[in-house]
Amino acid sequence: MTEETRQRVLRAASRLGYFSGVRQGVGDEERPPVEGRVVREIGFLFCSFLPKTTVSTNPFWSHILHGVESEARRANVKVTYRAISEIQEDPDRLLTTIYDMRLGGILLVGPAEAVTVQTIQQAGTPLVLVDNYVPQTDAVLGNNLDGARQAVEYLISLGHRRIAFMGGPFVEKTGQEAEQHRQRPPRNRVYTIERRAQGYRLALLEAGLPIVPELYEDGGLSMEGGYLACKRLLERGEQFSAIFCANDEMAVGAMKALREAGLRLPEDISIVGFDDIDMVEHLTPALTTVRVNKEALGAVALRRLLALISHPDPVHVVSMLDVELVKRESACAPPASVRH
């Protein structure tokens, strides 16, 4: 966005009163926020760089929206949903869209990039991130690192020593970084997935087990991606007795690939997911996973947003909700031949 365009948009927004009663933003230095303001409408803005991802069809984000809406009804606040993934790379259009919505506050949901968050912050509207983290921004998310750590510690306690990791999308490596791929695990592009990867590595290190980059696979956070990622592991002949998947959808796809390869679940390969989406307890075998209270994420985020609107706070708060390992039938002790 050019400086001339930015100033024109901000002057127009100021004349329309968009900065009244919100945390100060760019262009709003001379208009202090009014404490105790009553808000009637907030925005549930969904942003993701992942393809074919929508709130209505996704078993994770849809529950967060339900939690937001339930809490909003109690607070007598209207929630307006808007997907902004397609305009996130156009700052002018993104800011204009937000101003046109005339929102009292914004919940930015999903793995938005830092540059997108910073663009939205220019509007000066109270903002809370949901299941994401960017410095200098209020956020609500689950304890992803500890949840992954619990999951992998459980697999280790059963006797597993070579545990594959399925995450992604990975940050692309070029040049010398690409050459070092075998020595260093790839980094996940999504903040929450990278935290789960860190929990996976921490559990291995604490158990005195090596971190093996060859056991990393990019499942793209989808069922199809998990299926293809598991096939790649098998085709390379990698030796592993368990897979930790950074979300349940990849775990479902991996289970299909393992069955097609003639492997038994969990007798030959154990598998653990993350999120506890609706379908996984009905699989055969039922999926062991880490439960995230998705409705609570939405409800807590809305309460924080309403507090910010009523009483603007210069201190940014990150709320981390506990998660729970749910043990089902998809994990057991490995075959005696691979225990060492």
Q: What is the pLDDT of residues 255-298, one digit of tens each?
A: 999 999 999 999 999 999 999 999 999 999 999 999 999 999 99
The CATH number of the structural domain formed by 144-292+325-338 is 3.40.50.2300
Q: How confident is the model at residue 39 (pLDDT cuts 50, 70, 90)?
A: confident
Q: How confident is the model at residue 153 (pLDDT cuts 50, 70, 90)?
A: very high
* pLDDT for position 174: 66
**pLDDT surpassing 60 at residue 340:** no
- Domain ranges (residues) in the chain: 3-141+293-321, 144-292+325-338
Point out the least confidently predicted range of 8-17, 43-52, 99-108, 270-279. Answer: 8-17
In the chain, the N- to C-terminal Cα span, in Å, equals 58
Q: What is the pLDDT of residues 70-116, one digit of tens each?
A: 999 999 999 999 999 999 999 999 999 999 999 999 999 999 999 99
* pLDDT for position 29: 38
To the nearest whole percent, how much of the chain has pLDDT over 70? 85
- Regarding predicted confidence, which is higher, 117 or 56? 117
* pLDDT for position 27: 39
Task: Tell me whether the CATH fold assigned to 3-141+293-321 matches the one assigned to 144-292+325-338.
Answer: yes
> DSSP labels for 248-294?
HHHHHHHHHHHHHTT--TTTT-EEE-SB--GGGGGSSSPPBEEE--H
Q: Which of 264, 282, 269, 278 lies closest to 328 in space, CA to CA?
A: 282
CATH topology of domain 3-141+293-321: Rossmann fold (3.40.50)
* pLDDT for position 33: 42
What is the three-class DSSP state of 63?
A: helix
- Find where tokens 């990698």 sit: 238
pTM (two decimals): 0.87
* pLDDT for position 55: 87
To which H or E segment does residue 13 belong?
A: helix 3-15
